[in-house]
Structures are given as C-alpha cells and as structure tokens.
Structure 1
Amino acid sequence: MAKKTTQRKIKVDITQFAVPCPRVGSIELYSGYGQVPQLGQEIHQSVQRRRIREVSGYVAEKKMSIEFSRGEYLFVVSGRADGFIETPDCQIEEIKSAFDVESLERKVSGDENHPYVWQLRTYGYIHYKQTGEVPELKMLLVSSRNFKTSEIYFDLDVEEYEAWLALRLAELVEETKIREKLFKKRVEISENLQFPFSSPRPGQTELISSIEEGFAEEKSIVVQAPTGLGKTIGVLYPSLKDSLARGQKVIYVTPKNSQHQVAEEAVDRMQELGATIRPLTITAKSKMCFKAEPICNPQYCEYAQDYYKKIADNDLVNKISKLRSLSQKKLRQLGEEFQVCPFELSVEAIERADVVIADYNYVFSTRSLLGRLQNPLLEPDEKANLVIDEAHNLPSRAQDYFSPSISTRELRQIEEPLLKVAKRFSKRGLALCKEAQDLIEEYRGESRNISIDFDPVFELEKKLREFMAEYLEADIEVQPQDGVLRLTNVWSDFAQALELKGPEFFQTYQKNKIFGEDNETLKVTCCDASAHLNEIYKSFKNVVAFSATLKPFSYSSKLLGFTEESTKCLEFVSPFPKENRKIIVIPQISTKYKERTFSSPRIAEAIEKIMELKSGNYIALFPSFDFMKDVEKHLKQTFYQRLIQQREMKAARVDDFLSFMKNNDHPTLLLAVQGGVFSEGVDFPGDMLIGAFVIGPALPTFDFEREQIRQYYEKSHDKDEAFNYTYVYPAMAKTIQSAGRVIRSESDKGIIVLMDSRFLESTYSETMPQGWFKESPRELVSQKILSDISEFWQSIEKVKGVES
C-alpha cells in the first residue's frame, strides 16, 4: 500500500497571488504591482464606514479563503474583500484610491490583465466555488484629493479564470520549490555561523548576549555604545543568526548611503569564515538609473517599458538568485543586457538576499519598499529582523519624510531650467511656475499657522501632470535637472502631503530672507513621527536600534516609536583606556547667541594656545557657519594650516580634506559645523586627528516653526521636558557625535575640549556617555587648562617611551 504523502500548507495573500500569468506590464504609477500605502488604507476605512451606513447588507473587510491542491503543496489563498453586499445578487467590491484617480480609472478600465482586476476576479471565484453563484464584481475608485468616486464593473468568466489559475498554480509550485531551498540554506547557514573574530572586544560578548536575551523576551532593543566597541558586528551577528534560523533575512538601515560600507565590511568578515551569506545593498535610484532623469514612465524610459514582461520572459529573478554577488555593477550589467531598470532589478533581488543594506527611506518614508523588505519567506508568522544604525538620526529623518515645503525661491530657481526646454513648452511652463508662486503669495503676511486651501493646490497639480504627460509624449530628449519635471515633481510632492492629518501635523506660512532675497514658504510640518515608526516595526520580528548618542533613553525610545514596557535599553562604555583621552569643559566661555561677538576672540585664542602644546591635526566644530566664520577671523597664528568646511560640499571635496589631513605632515585645523559632514560618520584614524574643540551645544534655531514644535511637545508629552525635547537633546546628540571623532581605536590618543557653561547643567550632562565623568561633569573643569593638557601629552609620551 502506497504511503500517503502529507502536503505542505503554503499561505498566500491574494495581492501576491492574483497577478497576470505570465507577468506583463510596465513600471508606472498605477501598474498595480506593489503595496498599498498607509494613507490608502485610511481612505478605504473611511469609504467603508460610509458604505455600511448607506447600503443594506454591506460587510466590510470580509475574510475570504480557498485551498488549491497541487502535488506536494496545498496553497491557502486568502484575503479580505473591501466590501461584500449580501443580497440575492451578491456583489463584491474592491476599493482603490489614488491621488490622480482619473489616470487610475483609464489604466484599469483599459487593461483586463491588470493585477487589480485579477484580485477582484479571485474574490469572485472564491465566492463562486463556495456557493455556486457568480457574483457581480465592482471596483470603486476613490480620489484621495476630494473623495469623489467612480465605479467600474467586471465579469467573472469562470472558464477563462480557471485557465489562468492552472498557469498561476504551476508557477507557484516552482516558486515554492525555490523558496524551500533558500529557506533550508538559511537555516543551515545559521547553524554554522561563527562570530568573525577569535577574541571579541571588551563589551562585545555582553552586547551579543544582551541582544539574544532581548529577542528571547520579544522586546525591541535600544543600544547606546561608543565607537570602538565593535557595535556593528556585535548587533548584526546575533540579528542575522536569529533571522536565518527562522529562514528569514535581516534588513540593515543607515541614515546615509555612505554609511553602508561598515555593514558591508561586517558581512565580508563573516563570509571570510565560510558563511555563504548573500548581501544586497540597495543603491539610490538616481545612481542606478541609465537615463538623464529617474522617471519611471514607459513613454520616457525604455527600461521601464514592458519591465514585468521582460523579467518573466528572461527568468531574471532566478538568474539573480544564482549570482554570488548582488553588486550595483552586476545589476547594472544585467539591466543593460536585458533592457530593464537596474534599480527595480535590485528590488526583485530582495527576497533572495540574506542581508539587505539600505537607506532609512526604503523602510520609513512615504515611498518605501516596506512590502518587499518585510515579506516573510514561506512561513507567514516568521518575519525579518530590522537593524537601525545611527538611530539618533531616525526621529528627525522620519519627521522630514512627512514635512514637505514649497517656496517662492525654489520655484524661481526652476525658471532658468524652464527657459532651456523646447520653446513650445517653455512659455507654458514659466506661466505655470508663476501661477505656483502667486498661489504661495496669496498667504502673504507675517509667519503664522495657516490652513492651506486644498482646491487651488490640487487644480494646479492636475494642470502640471497633464502638462508633463504632453511633454513626455513629445519627441524631446529630457536633460538632467529638467525644468518641467522639477516643477511638476516638487509641486506634486507638496500637494500630496496636504492629505496628512493629525495633531502631530501643522501647516505654516513663513517669510524670511535667504542671501538677501525674499523667500516665502508654505510648509506641512510633522512634529512627531513615532506613531508611524511604531506601525512600521510591526512588520518585523525583532528590532534593534543602536547609536553612540541615545541618552536619555526615555526621550530617544519615545521618539523612535518604542513603548516602555516592550523595550530593552542598554548602555555600553568605551572599551579603550581612559588614559588615552582628556576631556575638559571650559565654562568661562559662553557660546550663547547674544554673547558670540564677545566670545569669538577668546575661543580663537584658546584653540591656538591648546594647539601649541602638541603639534598635530585638530577639528573645531561650531553650532553654525556664521559663528565659525566669526571665530576664524580672530585666528592669528601661522604654525598650522586651516581647512574650512563650506555650506555645500561635494563628496569628492570632503575626501580631499580628509586625504590632506591624513597625508600632510604640517599641523592642520579643520573648522566645521556640528551635525555636518565632518562630525558624524567620518573616521580620523590614528594620528590623523588628536583633538576636537566642541564650541557650545548646537541648539536648533529659535524660530517660528521650532516654537510650534515645542508647543506640540508641551501638549502631547511632559510640559517640563518640551524644551529639552525640542532643543537640548538634539543639540547634545551633535555634541557627543562631534566629540566621538577623536578616539576611534584602542591606539588613538587625544583631547576633547567642550566650551560653554551649559555642559555642566544636568539637562545637558545627562546625555553624556557613561565614563565621561564619575559623579558630576564639574570633574571635567580645570583650574589650570594649559598645564593639565600639557601633562596629559607628557603622560602619553612617557607611555610611548616605555612601550618602545
């Protein structure tokens, strides 16, 4: 008697299941591929509440499920129909929202093979198989601008659907076999994964075990650890081992593309010990794009045209899975060979990668890749792990994603590129640009809170979209920084942000001068993105956020979107000898705004006298460019060279500065700003930097918008903490990052000089890392500054003499 084979149950969501077979379609706004944005879900809920009131027998979010048996697999396809009307003539309703609902309507009504149509047909087929009745199928399209609706009806041809179904199930069988191999491989890698160093650094073992304990307790983990602990590998290793053991991957995000290298090097270390981990770094679309402008429009870009068909016809997803390297270079080669978008090809590679390294915006922004990044492999309840590097940057970065603005200066800067486009478009583009400026100027007056009138903003947005469609359809070569595209995109981004609602949002008109030029701005400001971040975390199994500057934890955890009861906060001290550094606070110098003119010559004098004690490279970090220039005018000595950070520096110029400091034997002083390119995410190894002057806490500017944010914190958080949340804690994060440039390894020696009495106040000192002082920051105040620093350098020289 033949042994009965147990089928493996595979759960598939309807949105993943119901797609054209084989794939067809181009990369474009309403292709139907990809996830529904959060805003779209909120609109759905609003429409559903209205439909329940208006339509008898209307059921929202009706669970529907069906099983399909194919060979060794039982596919359980399930989802929730947006609307189900229980009448004798049953009707199933799918709600789709769009900013430009007219374009969506044209796209769906003209394409019987659209994914949205297959989703609706699948709900209809499930009902047919369960009842024997063929339901009426309706797509309800809703404008996210004004909630106007339109309806499109579709027929369910059972014979046609079952022909598609046979093809789709055959596809799923092959896809599942590939996923099973990948799942098994990940589990095997986890079992053999080794920490890539034979001797962990002090604190590293404790860090790893603490993270493993946090995972076991099912808590989010917030880690403050200084440079030198080896926190990148100390966090990535246990996160990866846990994820792979569950057949899943790790998503590792950083605030800047330039910071990907540290994570990539950590993966390289594990690969050197034999771990067959496949990493993937998501590179910015603008850097991957073959075209002058990264416009995902099949009329403009041949790499977007028929993209999904080319992927299917050439079996590119499986070709990718066989590559040892998923590098930018290789993905661009494949993109060129098969005429497909290399950035979208990197998105296709996400499922097959074990570690995905990306910028914050690919997880947390309004245009994220979250649906692809968090999608579980085989086991629906087993999700990926998320690692957040330099996490002190995330709250403000997330707020920025939801805080768009549009200004008259920005629009005036687009006028010159508009003059360069073809004449038949230039005049009309300039007129629309002037209309946009006029609309902003209608709010003219004092800077204030306002309520922006939606209708004229949306009407202009519609005109611009129609104008751009004509422009792209014309036989014109689009140039970099094209005026028509810039104008349309900046206005559309702003217009769509007007949909953001809630107590954490406010709208303002602001008037100021930039380089002597009047500038008027309309802005939507998000004061607090913590609720959004918390929602994102639900897409992952475990979340670890780490940085050198996260104290006080009550502040950072709250703004990062973690709840107190489900979060584990950890602080680790520097593993390097305290004797290698000297931290001094000079409270006699004030950097308060009103006292800067008086303090500037004293700061310059202090810097030069301290530099005279020990020849080498130093960095002085200021709260602003203007303050930096004021002090620079008072520097008199000629025994050193100066490098001065500019307001906008290209990466190549930054590298030139760093190369100069590394290779030049002459003492150098680098003048820069806190929170800038030289104060975070930059290494000055060895003798490249022996001292840092941190010139006061870089408090954010006291302006109209910042004060509105403070008032929000007064209402929504602790009133007594509102000033600290708005000004003190963000400033001190910059201070500690700046100070952290000096000691980057166990062999580095150097001084850190903090100038301002505020560093002694408890609200400032509570943010300082453990180990800076024992009981009070007053321990860092010297009565004989030059003598103490001189003695420090002498002690360093004595140790060198003994070692040699």
Structure 2
Amino acid sequence: MEIEQVYTRLPYTPTKTQIRILDVIFRTHERCIYSLIEAANGVGKTTCLATAAALLAKQGVRTTIFCMTYKQISRVINELKKIDADIKAVVIGSHNALCCSDNSATPRTICRIKSLRFSCAYSRPSADYLPWLFDADELVRESRAKGVCAYEAAWQSVNNAQIILATQAYLLYDNSWKKISRFVDNTFLLVDECHNLIHSGVSVFSFTLDFESPICKRVLQKVMSRTRWSKRKLLEKLGDEESFLKNTEQEITALIDSKNNYLLWKIINEYSQIKLLWEANYERLFIRQKQCEGYLGYPEEYLNQRFRAFRGGVLVSATPGSIETYKRIVHDTPLYVEKLPAPYTKDQLKVFILNDFSTRYKERTPQNYIKVCERIFRLLGKTGNLGVYFPSYEYLNKIAATIAERYPTIPFIAHSASLVELNHYGNRVMLSVQGGREGEGSEIPGGLDMVLVVGLALPFPKSLLMAREKMYRGLGISNPEEPAYISWATQKAVQAIGRVIRGPNDKGIGILMDRRFEYRHVLKSLPSWFQSYIWRSADFEQLMRLLEV
C-alpha cells in the first residue's frame, strides 16, 4: 500500500512520526518480516496500529493485535470506531475477563472450573449475535442485557473477524495460546507496548507458591522440609496428583455453598498454581522465605514458537529494551529496527538525575523514607501536579505511612492499591508504582507537570532472571545483565516519566532519583530518544536551584 493513499482515509492529519510508523508497518507486511519500532510516549503509536489494521482490513488482510491490558485494547477499539464503524473487530478474553455474573446468582469465578460451568445463569448466544467493535466492558454489558455469555459471544465471532484483539497473555500461557492459535494462523501481527512481553513472560514462566486454603497449605508444609527440590523427588514426596485435585475440587464446591467468595477466589487461583508442581516442565524448585519458587523455561524461546504462526508483524514501544531479546524472539526471521526521534523539543521535556540518593535495600531506613517525604513536599512547591513513582508497593506503603505520621492533616484519597492522591494547599501529589497500572499506557486525570521516579526498580532476583543472564552470557553478549533485567528497570522509569508528555504541546520535568541511573550500563539501556532529554546530574539542592531558573 502506498503511504500517500492513507491520508484520504484517516479522520485526522497524521504527524511526520505517525507517517513513518505507518510506512514501516505497511513495508513490513509487504516483506513478511518483523519490525521493532522505538517511538517516544505521546506520539500516537496506538492510533497508528489501529489505523494500519483498519486499512489492511480494506485490502483483505486479517490482523491480530495484542495489548497488555483490556484498557489499552479499549483505546484501540475507540480509534477503530473513528476510522471505520463497519469494521469487523472482536475482543477475545478469558472466562474471568468476560464474565457477565454480578457475583449474586452465581460466583464470577465459577467458569474457571470446567466441571462447574453448567450452573452458570448465562446461556450460549445465537449464531447471529456478532459483537463487533465492543471493548471488553461494552461486550459484558451488552451480553448481560441479552442474558447470554459474553465469552461465548466473542469466541464464536473470531472466524469472521477482520481484526482480532487480545491481551498479551494469549501469547504467553500455553492453554491460552492453544485456544487462539487456530484463529490467528497466517494473520499479520501487531504488538503494542511490546516491552511487556518479557516482563509478563518472566512472571508467567516463573511461579511462586504461597497459599491460604487449607489443602494447599498442607502441600506447602511438605515442601518446606527442604530448600531445593528436583521435580522427581518432589513428586515422590507429594504423591498422586489425582487425589489432591479431587480433594481440592471438593473444597471448592463446599466454598461455593458457603458463599465465601474471597476464599473461593483464592483457592481457585491456588488450584491452577499448585497443578504446576505436577504438570510444569521445571527442573528445580527453590524454597526461600517460606515460598516455593521455580521456572518453566525462557520466555524468548516460547515466544519464538508463537511468532512462527504469523505472517510477519510489528512490535512497538517507547521503551522496547534490549534488541538482543527481540532477535531471540524472531530468531530465523529478519528483524528491522526503527528508532524514531521524539517529536518534542528539549524545552518540553527536561530530565535530571539526582546523584545523592539510592533505594538499595541496605539504604532503606526510616531516615531514608523521611528524606523522600521531605523532598516530595519541597518539589510540590515548584509544580501544580506532581507524580511520584516508587520501586515497589512495599516502598509506596512505607512512604504513605511516613506522610500520614509526619503530616497528619493532609488528606489521602486511595484510588486503588497502586494510586494514592494527596492535596496540599491546592497542589496535588499522585503516589504510584513504577510498572504499575498508572505507570504506563494510561492517563492520570488532570495530567502531571512533574514526575519524580524514586529508585531504580530492579526486579527481585528470581531464579529465572539469573538463568536468563547465564543464557545471554553463553550467547556471547558482553553485558548479559542488560537484556536479563537492567532494561526492565529502566523501561519502568522511562514509562513513568512519559506520563508528563501525553500530547504534542505538553511540557514537563522528569527526575530520576537514584545515583545508579548515572552508571554507564544503566544509561546505555535507556531508549535513544530519551537520552537526549537528560540535562544533567545534580544533588537535590542543586536541582532546586535549577528549577528556580
């Protein structure tokens, strides 16, 4: 498709960056290869994916779009509605995500257990119910009103869809991939926020078991007798899987009768987790801090198998991370890499590194938390809307508790577990977590003028992360820690700072408050476009003077 043809079909005038993204997508499709696009926050990457999918559909090309969350999928659906209201686009999801139950007639979790699905109050839809261009919430509302199952409605529409939308979980989980793979074979692949493939993959292919239900606790107690298990020795200790699963299902049935929905939700999640002890392909299980930890394989290798089903594709992100990771994913297929400059000026985004602070575990003291609180309120005097992103939920909770103790008159508004709002003399502080729901792919109501990133959010050293570092070292990569886990931390920091620039006319300041951001290998892992906006390193008092200017 000639890129000039695009202009007459769009409901908006594309920017130069958007034109280039569209051009790469169409050329990638023509050549049946894979492309990776690194483009800054706020340039309209999601809009470009929706546009390209709609225009390719006009040419008879079926496209599959994977996003991280259903909220991001909703944004794609909204863009598709603007471009072509008649396009056949369907959102697919799990039983849980597309459950119509309001938890009164039947528990929402009942569809997770196959033998109990017959008792659901919602029936199979008629063949002519095709829910085109509904996001997940719209699909559930519409299906509930008709008294039919939204899950069944979505999946019966897939064969006739021009565009299939799903979360990235469908590329990662075996059962999810088996469900979707027969519908997406030979379609063109588009992945939004592709850096989450590896982040989520590390979680999917690692497993940590920590139980609340009685039957699962009994299993855990058996496992805790050693610090390391081979799979063979562990199964000898646990015994027959069938009897365990039968006992678990009996416990679930009893909880359904008791209407204890919280414990029911916990045991159903634990049920699916603990089956991994028998069914997963792992070699070792590690016991630390009263938890079981293991891993099932490398995400890159599993994704490579998945990607072979598609007719090429494009992956986009503001923070894609190590190119070596994507080379491993596409492996035998050519990979084209496009790194686009940010469209905003250096006056629009200024980034500072504070070199007088760190969130290393040994430095996380009460005095450290007090210093963070004091700095938050001093920075708040320089801006109207301040976003503060912490390395973990634990750190967020520590800061919230310290603020409550030292500033008891300041009101808190807890929007969610990952977003706390404070108001101080007409100015607003939003406290959140790097890599959390409000840390990327979403808009903070009212916008932000300044973002403070507290700490380099290195992931907990799971056995899989260490194994991936060893794998990349074996491949001859000179800095194997960068694709293994360093890029994970820097991506979350850049995504957080990206909350201040959500459009072409926005302006904002980003502050990376951890001296480790100055380290050469950490700076190198930052996206190319972002590095050009780093003004200088400073201590906090120097920063305050610079902000005066």
| Short-chain TM bin | 0.7 to 0.9
1:194-343 to structure 2, matched below 5 A, reads 195-245=9-59, 247-271=60-84, 275-286=85-96, 287-290=98-101, 291-292=106-107, 293-295=109-111, 300-302=116-118, 316-317=126-127, 319-321=128-130, 341-343=149-151
Q: Secondary structure at the match of 1:669?
A: strand
Does residue 1:358 correspond to 2:161, yes or no? no
- Contact 2:39/2:341 (<8 A) preserved: yes
Deviation per CA, 1:187-240, whole angstroms, max 9, x where unpaired?
A: 9xxx99954344212311111112212222221111111222111121232244
Letter in 2 for 1:539: A
Letter in 2 for 1:722: P
1:161-560 to structure 2, matched below 5 A, reads 195-245=9-59, 247-271=60-84, 275-286=85-96, 287-290=98-101, 291-292=106-107, 293-295=109-111, 300-302=116-118, 316-317=126-127, 319-321=128-130, 341-368=149-176, 370-372=178-180, 374-375=182-183, 383-407=186-210, 410=211, 413-415=212-214, 432-433=215-216, 435-441=218-224, 444-445=225-226, 447-448=227-228, 450-453=230-233, 455-456=235-236, 459-467=239-247, 477=257, 479=259, 481=261, 487=267, 490-491=270-271, 493-496=273-276, 498-501=278-281, 505-512=282-289, 519=290, 521-526=291-296, 528-555=298-325, 557-558=326-327
Q: Secondary structure at the match of 2:129?
A: helix
Distance between the aligned counterparts of 2:141 and 2:535, measured in 1? 56
Distance apart, 1:529 and its partner CA: 1.2
Once structures 1 and 2 are overlaid, which stretch shifts more, 213-222 or 297-306?
Answer: 297-306
Distance between the aligned counterparts of 1:707 and 1:324, measured in 2? 39
Deviation per CA, 1:360-415, whole angstroms, max 9, x where unpaired?
A: 22343122155545536xxxxx82222211111111312333333433xx1xx224
* Cα distance, 1:667–1:333 mapped onto 2, change above 3 Å: closer
Distance between the aligned counterparts of 2:390 and 2:187, measured in 1? 40
Letter in 2 for 1:238: A
Distance between the aligned counterparts of 1:470 and 1:773, measured in 2? 57
* Cα distance, 1:454–1:374 mapped onto 2, change above 3 Å: same
Deviation per CA, 1:686-710, whole angstroms, max 9, x where unpaired?
A: x63111111221112346x367435
- Contact 1:281/1:327 (<8 A) preserved: yes
Structure 2 partner of 1:732: 490
Distance apart, 1:304 and its partner CA: 7.1
Q: Secondary structure at the match of 1:285?
A: coil
| Correspondence for 1:567 among 322, 329, 335 | 335
* Cα distance, 1:524–1:619 mapped onto 2, change above 3 Å: same
Distance apart, 1:466 and its partner CA: 3.4
Structure 1 residue runs of 5 or longer lacking an equivalent are 1-186, 377-381, 416-431, 513-518, 792-804
Distance apart, 1:586 and its partner CA: 1.8
Once structures 1 and 2 are overlaid, which stretch shifts more, 283-292 or 201-210?
Answer: 283-292
Deviation per CA, 1:104-154, whole angstroms, max 9, x where unpaired?
A: xxxxxxxxxxxxxxxxxxxxxxxxxxxxxxxxxxxxxxxxxxxxxxxxxxx
1:705-716 to structure 2, matched below 5 A, reads 705=463, 708-709=466-467, 712-713=470-471, 716=474
Distance between the aligned counterparts of 1:448 and 1:675, measured in 2? 31
Q: Secondary structure at the match of 2:489?
A: helix
- Contact 2:241/2:278 (<8 A) preserved: no
* Cα distance, 1:304–1:756 mapped onto 2, change above 3 Å: closer
- Contact 1:461/1:492 (<8 A) preserved: no
Letter in 2 for 1:279: A
- Contact 1:260/1:357 (<8 A) preserved: yes
| Correspondence for 1:698 among 457, 461, 465 | 457
Distance apart, 1:464 and its partner CA: 3.5
1:107-126 to structure 2, matched below 5 A, reads none
Q: Secondary structure at the match of 1:375?
A: helix
Deviation per CA, 1:521-561, whole angstroms, max 9, x where unpaired?
A: 33331452111111111222132211111133234x146x1
Deviation per CA, 1:63-119, whole angstroms, max 9, x where unpaired?
A: xxxxxxxxxxxxxxxxxxxxxxxxxxxxxxxxxxxxxxxxxxxxxxxxxxxxxxxxx
* Cα distance, 1:635–1:605 mapped onto 2, change above 3 Å: farther
Distance apart, 1:489 and its partner CA: 6.2
| Correspondence for 2:350 among 575, 578, 582 | 582
Letter in 2 for 1:404: F
Deviation per CA, 1:419-452, whole angstroms, max 9, x where unpaired?
A: xxxxxxxxxxxxx5564244323xx24x446435
- Per chain length, whose mean CA-contact separation is higher, i.e. which structure has more relative contact order (CA < 8 Å, sep 6+)? 2
Structure 1 partner of 2:430: 670
Structure 2 residue runs of 5 or longer lacking an equivalent are none
Distance apart, 1:347 and its partner CA: 0.7
- Contact 1:640/1:668 (<8 A) preserved: no
* Cα distance, 1:773–1:548 mapped onto 2, change above 3 Å: closer
Distance between the aligned counterparts of 2:195 and 2:333, measured in 1? 20
| Correspondence for 2:509 among 720, 730, 751 | 751
Does residue 1:785 correspond to 2:543, yes or no? yes
- Contact 1:448/1:508 (<8 A) preserved: yes
Structure 2 partner of 1:612: 381
Letter in 2 for 1:385: F
- Contact 2:190/2:314 (<8 A) preserved: yes
Distance between the aligned counterparts of 2:297 and 2:433, measured in 1? 24
- Contact 1:642/1:671 (<8 A) preserved: no
* Cα distance, 1:304–1:540 mapped onto 2, change above 3 Å: farther
Q: Secondary structure at the match of 2:437?
A: coil
- Sequence identity, in percent? 18
* Cα distance, 1:336–1:468 mapped onto 2, change above 3 Å: farther
- Contact 2:295/2:464 (<8 A) preserved: no
* Cα distance, 1:744–1:461 mapped onto 2, change above 3 Å: same
Q: Secondary structure at the match of 2:505?
A: coil
Aligned length, in residue pairs = 537
- Contact 1:773/1:780 (<8 A) preserved: no
* Cα distance, 1:527–1:721 mapped onto 2, change above 3 Å: farther
Distance apart, 1:499 and its partner CA: 4.0
